Chains A and B, each alone.
Chain A
Amino acid sequence: MTITCYINNTKQKADSNETILSVLNRIGISIPTLCNMKELSPTGACRLCVVEDAETGELITSCSTPVRENMKIFTHSPEVINARKTIIELLLANHPENCLYCDKSGNCELQKLSEDLNIREKVFYGDLMSRKTDRSSPGIVRDMSKCILCGRCVRICDEILGISAIDLINRGKNTSIETVFQKGLFYSDCIHCGLCVTACPTGAIMAKSSINQVIEKLGNNKTTKSIMIPTTTIANIAVSYNIRKYEDARNMLVAALHSIGFNKVYPMSLFNDFFISEATSIIQNRLKNSPQPLIITDCPAIKKYIQIKEPELVEFLCKIPAPQQIGAKILSMQESTDLLMSVSPCIAHKYEAVQTQNTNKGVPEIDFVLTSDELDKLLKTLGITLPFTRKETPDNPANSDSSAGVFFETKHGITEGIVRELFHRSDLSVQLNRIIEIKPEKDFIEYEFEINKTYYSVACISGIENLVKYKKQILQGNYLFVEVRSCKSGCIDGCGQKLTDSQDSQKRLRKTLSEYDEKTSNNTPGKNPFIKGFYRNNKLGNIF
């Protein structure tokens, strides 16, 4: 039902189900919020979004109050501004005053709010917050003294994932966000998806940084050092520094990494090709008799999620390790390297690298996993300015990749690669570079194709919450395989990338990768010469 309301004395039309905040956002009035998130239910905890009800003079929270017929509100009256300002001042009274050393500085919502509200002096003085820091997880550091208890991480972990690895404990000033029995994140049900990292408005939950150790290792000239860089990281660099072409960005990054001391730089696309080849072999065996569902994913978060929350799906999970671990195994077969590093768009891979199956006598096969952001920072620390002046091609054996491997990390890239490879192996020429159309807003898509007059259908699910939602379809849908990834746009909006928040930057990231894909003729792993050569000596499906 459409109703009328008066916002700052101007007449506006609104729907009766809408909250005040959504009306204000729609008409372009910005209201500061800390606890509110689009996907989550309103809790009214931060009280920053208060607006003045002109009739009663009361301050009401716009995030939770629905609009009424003929409601009159003021969004920025002196009283409202004053209240918002005092709330932030109260938060700042005991917030650790170490913004200069904080990883989040410059990107912090609390910092931005205090700037926006023009708070330029410390008004209240309280004892600075000191709570313990949880460093147990390989990917996430939780410094609870910086926590402002907005509860976003708690709600995202509960409402979206249904995991509740963290929750609020205690009361009053002792309230804090903790894992079960306060044992630390590593010992909890945390799947290291990193949603809480993206949700946190301050520096309380951050990705763990290994930059300092890496810099130390890089200084040693006697060792050989190798690094794998995923295509999303390259795209991230390309978009951040306005480099138009994927290959330009890749070659610049290779040259830059060479110059700071890496002997070998491999793009992850090669190992993505291996992943596709291996997965295709498994599927080819299933073409004749495909009774059970098969879940294919390269995402460590999804794998742990299934183990914890959906144990009945474990038997359907494809056992191929993620590309970075495939890379580690293949590289160890090819040559010896003292330091092997990998870059990843998200923190789940940091967790994956230390899992038992990926370690050799307790030593991880991959020494360090950096996020895209960390790589960016590492380059800055070591004096590299991007765009880099030189360009170099990636190292042998990886100077050959297929465009499917490049496109692999975007939304339903796994499916795209596997279908192309299936066509290729069935001697059907792959005409189109884009077989499956990307619809950014859809979380579940189905695709049907024909090989030798038999029809097969596959499905792609994006987002962890949708795994539960579409579980029935997975079990009963009679799909050849189902691709699942925990992030909605594939790996390009991983929590280790800076540009994840806006729809626009996601679009640009995707465009960078697909442009390269469209003009490359090596569009399937089967056409990759290195892969061909590798499988002459090794049998498909046997190396892992």
Chain B
Amino acid sequence: MKNLKDKTYKTLFIDAVELEKAPQYSKPVEMPHIYVERNTGSIVSGIDATIQYIKKYFDKDENYKLIETGSLGISSFDPVIGIQIHGRPLIFFKNVTFSYVSTILDSILNHILPESDFILGQISHTGLSSWADVPELYQLDIFAKQNRRILKNFGLIQPDFIESYIDYDGYKAFAETITRKTAAEVCNIIEKSGLRGRGGGAFNTGKKWQKALNTGKSQKYFICNADESDPGSFSGRLLAENNPHLVIEGILIGAYAVNARKAFIYIRNTYTLAIERLENALFQAQKAGLTGEDIFGSGINIEIEIFKGPGAYVCGEETALIASMEGERGTPKPKPPYPSEDGLFGQPTVVNNIETVCNVPYILNYGGDEFQKAGLNNSFGTKLFSISGKTDITGVIEIDLGTSVAEIMDICITKQRQPEIKAVHIGGPSGGFIDPDKFSINLDYETAIDNKLGLGSGSFLVLDKTNCIIDITKYFIKFINNESCGKCIPCREGSQRLLEILNRISEKPSEYNKHESLLRFKGVTQLEQISSLMQKTSLCGLGQNAPNTILSGLLRFRQEYEEHIYERQCEANVCRNLKEYYVVVDNCVGCGICAKKCPADAIIGTEHQAHFIIQDRCIKCGVCEASCKFNAIMIK
């Protein structure tokens, strides 16, 4: 090894990258710099059109700079653009669809603030004269209440430029690791930091690494699992798309720590933008000498390859993931042997979730003690939560593990609207419901399990009075039923039975006989019986955690289940198939109002004669019932 210890880390890159090219918002600019945040979320919201209109606005005037950056994390602000003009700090605007581009640019280029609806915040800096009456971006409630460690500088970093990442102290942890620390030391640091797997298993990452490091075999693999498929979870995509170099740095450190010479990023093939950016980032990293042979003259070779997964939910389970990489059918295998002893192609393999990997550089930069300043009980560090549902904002936030549900609610929903909230569903298909009484519980791994929840990959779905618990449960069980690999009986057959029972509860009976009613009543006890079997005997985490949604629902919203079963009523009016509208012939005078109002043309009849509802056409909207003045339309 060459003597690299005295060099500061940025000088390691000096030959390979041109750091001075990286734009810095803290320095004054001559010509206008326009930051556009391009990621899957903002593309859907129309950032591409916005970019086109920006280009059109400047037309042949080349006196401006367009900078493509990653996302701030909050998708409901998309499309977001940031503008920095001469002498002024960077200011961000939200929801800038193409039609507002010229308005905003017109005013801001003339040093006038546009309408306040669009203004998000500014990042003031000494030497730059701040915009008056514009809040500081990072002092906004939504950002100030977060603890952004992984997401630090998101929205400023350009995913397609390694210079931009290095400028924000990127690859410092890796450079220092590879030049100053041994593999065992790195494992120790990670183990002591108490970092646990963010994919759902919550196993101590350092211990996993040590196990793999200490196996005798020489060929080892490191796999970063970015195969995110949970409904309602999009934090993995955010990381890969908006800061691919952070992912690569984490992988490099991990691969170095377990002595793996080959690392893989397993990512869904549908995440096209993420794949594109990762591929580009890998190319740049190789050019900068970060991957490949003899990295920084240390004599260590690490190669990273992207593996596009076919996109099955079960392939997020590590043994199934490995099987699918080997070209086999993606089904889990019984453990032991664990992948850290016998994994990819029979070699020791470490599989880490993308979020776990992204935590690694922070720990090495700031140390385990600093890392442990966030967290509760035995769950240290921060966790990304994907917020969606009936909230004011949608997007990914980063908070300390152990933060209470109520605190997260404060970030994503205003105090006035909070009483409307009926429940929060945490953890995707493997998670469960929380009712407002339990909003005070802390979301660390142990407390979550005690409350029949799983943090999973961190989805946070907020439900209000218009959502039906049974309907949501049905959605998740259907997802499990479709995505179960079909190997083990409890999961395959159990989820099928659960779905059938839930359908029976939430739809009107196909025949009105005693047997059908008996099955409906038996449903609830059977839900519990099957759920407990699945938890105890399923082969992998998918089946074991699948019933959490049902069990927590039964525990906290039993009343809603009973309403569906006994009264055949859905308060949220979501399970419309529970009802059947019919005309009471004696009451109907044949006025025809219902037939006119029916949106589905399901009511027929001649004037002054009793009308009739065609059940196959009826969409159960209830308009006819509301419009009838003679009480002639009833519900069965």
Contact B529–A171 (Cβ < 8 Å): no
Q: Does B494 contact A (CB under 8 A)?
A: yes
Docked complex: B468-491 residues within 8 A CB-CB of A: 481-490
Closest 10 CB pairs of A and B: A175-B486, A44-B334, A64-B334, A90-B493, A172-B484, A47-B537, A86-B533, A59-B536, A173-B496, A45-B487
Please name the residue on chain A nearest to B533 by beta carbon.
A86
Of A119-127, A250-258, A325-333, A490-498, the segment with at least 4 beta carbons within 8 Å of chain B is A119-127
Contacts of A127 in B (CB 8 A): 500
A435 to B533, CA, bound (A): 58
Docked complex: B506-559 residues within 8 A CB-CB of A: 519, 526, 529-530, 533, 536-539
Fill in one digit per residue for B551-587: 1 if any A CB lies within 8 Å of its CB, else 0. Answer: 0000000000000000000000000000000000000
Q: Does A22 contact B (CB under 8 A)?
A: no
Please name the residue on chain B nearest to A52 by beta carbon.
B536
CB < 8 Å: which of A46, A79, A90, A173 contacts B481? A173
A151 to B526, CA, bound (A): 27
Interface size range on A against B: 35 or more
Contact B486–A91 (Cβ < 8 Å): no
Contacts of B533 in A (CB 8 A): 83, 86-87, 90
Contacts of B526 in A (CB 8 A): 123-124
> Could you name 14 residue pairs across A and B whose Cβ atoms are closer than 8 Å?
A44-B334, A46-B488, A47-B490, A64-B334, A66-B336, A125-B500, A126-B496, A127-B500, A168-B329, A171-B485, A172-B492, A173-B484, A173-B486, A173-B495
Please name the residue on chain B nearest to A176 by beta carbon.
B486
Contact B483–A91 (Cβ < 8 Å): no
Contact A87–B489 (Cβ < 8 Å): yes
Contacts of A123 in B (CB 8 A): 526
Please name the residue on chain A nearest to B314 by beta carbon.
A171
Q: Does A137 contact B (CB under 8 A)?
A: no
Contact A47–B489 (Cβ < 8 Å): yes
Contact B481–A172 (Cβ < 8 Å): yes
Q: Does B497 contact A (CB under 8 A)?
A: yes
Nearest-Cβ distance from residue A177 to partner chain B, whole angstroms: 10
Fill in one digit per residue for A43-59: 1 if any B CB lies within 8 Å of its CB, else 0. Answer: 11111101000000011
Please name the residue on chain B nearest to A90 by beta carbon.
B493
Given A126-B496, A175-B492: A86 and B530 within 8 A (CB)? yes
A172 to B479, CA, bound (A): 10
Docked complex: A376-393 residues within 8 A CB-CB of B: none
Given A61-B334, A171-B482, A173-B481: A83 and B493 within 8 A (CB)? no
A167 to B334, CA, bound (A): 19
Q: Does B455 contact A (CB under 8 A)?
A: no
Contact A171–B334 (Cβ < 8 Å): no
Given A58-B536, A83-B537, A86-B533: A174 and B486 within 8 A (CB)? yes
Q: Which residues of A contact B (CB under 8 A)?
A: 42-48, 50, 58-59, 61, 64-66, 79, 83, 86-87, 90-91, 93-94, 123-127, 148-149, 151, 167-168, 170-175
Q: Does B312 contact A (CB under 8 A)?
A: yes
Contacts of A65 in B (CB 8 A): 334, 336
Contact A171–B333 (Cβ < 8 Å): no
Contact B492–A83 (Cβ < 8 Å): no
Contacts of A149 in B (CB 8 A): 486-487, 489, 492
Q: Which residues of B contact A (CB under 8 A)?
A: 312, 314, 329, 331, 333-334, 336, 481-490, 492-497, 500, 519, 526, 529-530, 533, 536-539
Contact A44–B539 (Cβ < 8 Å): yes
Contacts of A66 in B (CB 8 A): 336
Given A58-B536, A83-B536, A87-B490: A43 and B334 within 8 A (CB)? yes
Contacts of A170 in B (CB 8 A): 486
Contact A90–B334 (Cβ < 8 Å): no
Q: Which residue, of B334, B336, B526, B537, has the highest number of chain A Cβ atoms within 10 A?
A: B537
Q: Which residue, of A46, A94, A173, has the highest number of chain B Cβ atoms within 10 A?
A: A173
14 other A-B residue contacts (CB within 8 Å) besides A173-B492, A175-B486: A43-B333, A44-B333, A58-B536, A83-B537, A86-B529, A87-B489, A87-B490, A90-B533, A125-B519, A127-B500, A151-B487, A171-B483, A172-B486, A172-B496
A65 to B335, CA, bound (A): 8
A94 to B492, CA, bound (A): 12
A50 to B488, CA, bound (A): 12
A384 to B329, CA, bound (A): 50
Contact B530–A167 (Cβ < 8 Å): no
A253 to B569, CA, bound (A): 70
Please name the residue on chain A nearest to B479 by beta carbon.
A172
A513 to B536, CA, bound (A): 52
A173 to B312, CA, bound (A): 14
Please name the residue on chain B nearest to A85 by beta carbon.
B533
Contacts of A175 in B (CB 8 A): 485-487, 492
Contacts of B481 in A (CB 8 A): 172-173
A175 to B483, CA, bound (A): 11
A66 to B539, CA, bound (A): 16
A403 to B537, CA, bound (A): 56
Nearest-Cβ distance from residue B547 to partner chain A, whole angstroms: 13
Nearest-Cβ distance from residue A341 to partner chain B, whole angstroms: 41
Please name the residue on chain B nearest to A125 by beta carbon.
B519
CB < 8 Å: which of A50, A124, A172 contacts B485? A172
Contacts of B538 in A (CB 8 A): 47
Contact A91–B489 (Cβ < 8 Å): yes
A149 to B491, CA, bound (A): 13
A234 to B183, CA, bound (A): 70
Contact B537–A45 (Cβ < 8 Å): no
Contacts of A126 in B (CB 8 A): 496-497, 500
Please name the residue on chain B nearest to A167 by beta carbon.
B329
Contacts of A79 in B (CB 8 A): 536
A149 to B484, CA, bound (A): 13
Contacts of A124 in B (CB 8 A): 497, 526, 530
Please name the residue on chain A nearest to B482 by beta carbon.
A172
A94 to B497, CA, bound (A): 9
A123 to B331, CA, bound (A): 29
Please name the residue on chain A nearest to B519 by beta carbon.
A125
Contacts of B490 in A (CB 8 A): 47, 87, 90
Contacts of B536 in A (CB 8 A): 50, 58-59, 79, 83
Nearest-Cβ distance from residue A164 to partner chain B, whole angstroms: 11
A414 to B497, CA, bound (A): 54
Nearest-Cβ distance from residue B251 to partner chain A, whole angstroms: 29
A47 to B329, CA, bound (A): 19
A91 to B488, CA, bound (A): 11
Please name the residue on chain A nearest to B484 by beta carbon.
A172
Contacts of B539 in A (CB 8 A): 44-45, 47
A125 to B500, CA, bound (A): 9
Q: Which residue, of B314, B329, B484, B497, has the highest number of chain A Cβ atoms within 10 A?
A: B497
Contact B488–A172 (Cβ < 8 Å): no
A50 to B329, CA, bound (A): 24
A168 to B329, CA, bound (A): 8
A172 to B488, CA, bound (A): 10
A340 to B378, CA, bound (A): 79
Contacts of B486 in A (CB 8 A): 149, 168, 170-175
Please name the residue on chain A nearest to B486 by beta carbon.
A175
CB < 8 Å: which of A91, A94, A171 contacts B484? A171
Given A66-B336, A126-B500: A44 and B494 within 8 A (CB)? no
Please name the residue on chain A nearest to B537 by beta carbon.
A47
A167 to B487, CA, bound (A): 12
Please name the residue on chain A nearest to B494 by beta carbon.
A90
Please name the residue on chain B nearest to A123 by beta carbon.
B526
Contact A171–B494 (Cβ < 8 Å): no
Given A167-B329, A168-B329: A46 and B489 within 8 A (CB)? yes
A59 to B532, CA, bound (A): 12
A151 to B536, CA, bound (A): 22
Nearest-Cβ distance from residue B241 to partner chain A, whole angstroms: 27
Contacts of A125 in B (CB 8 A): 500, 519
A50 to B495, CA, bound (A): 19
Contact A90–B530 (Cβ < 8 Å): yes
Contacts of A174 in B (CB 8 A): 486
A93 to B489, CA, bound (A): 12
A48 to B539, CA, bound (A): 11
